[in-house]
Amino acid sequence: PRPPQEVSKTVTSRLNDPAVSGVVSTGKSAVTAATPVAEKLAAFLTTSSPVVLAEVGAATVAAYYLAGPLFGLFVGALRGYAGEVSAAQAGSVGYTGEVSTAQIRGVGRGGEEGSMVLSESLVWSVG
């Protein structure tokens, strides 16, 4: 084993490393910011009645179980309407000639006859 003085010097030299000192200072600021919140939480838990604590606990559990489905609905709404037709059904309808498709692609991918150049990077073709 190494003597304690050598270990102390090694730890001190590592703490003076810029990367480590950045982590240490960030950790200190995180603790400083979290301390008032933790103190308020501890005061709430020690001074509240059992009924209030049970209500808060039930609300926390409900929020935990509802967060996933609600987040899924929110993300689904952001993604947009998926439609009632599967990809295979949409493809088969396209082969019958009953629908027109619109393609927007880069000019470098080919601007064929009947295409309209929308900008330097986009081509609009209807077929």
Which tens digits make up the pLDDT trace of 15-49? Answer: 777 777 778 788 888 889 999 999 999 999 999 99
Q: 82-120 as b/e, with b when 16 or more CB fall inside 10 Å?
A: eeeeeeeeeeeeeeeeeeeeeeeeeeeeebeeebeeeee
Band the pLDDT of 123: cuts 50, 70, 90. very low
pLDDT for 118 equals 52
Is the pLDDT at 105 greater than 60? The verdict is no
Band the pLDDT of 82: cuts 50, 70, 90. low
**Total-model pTM:** 0.41
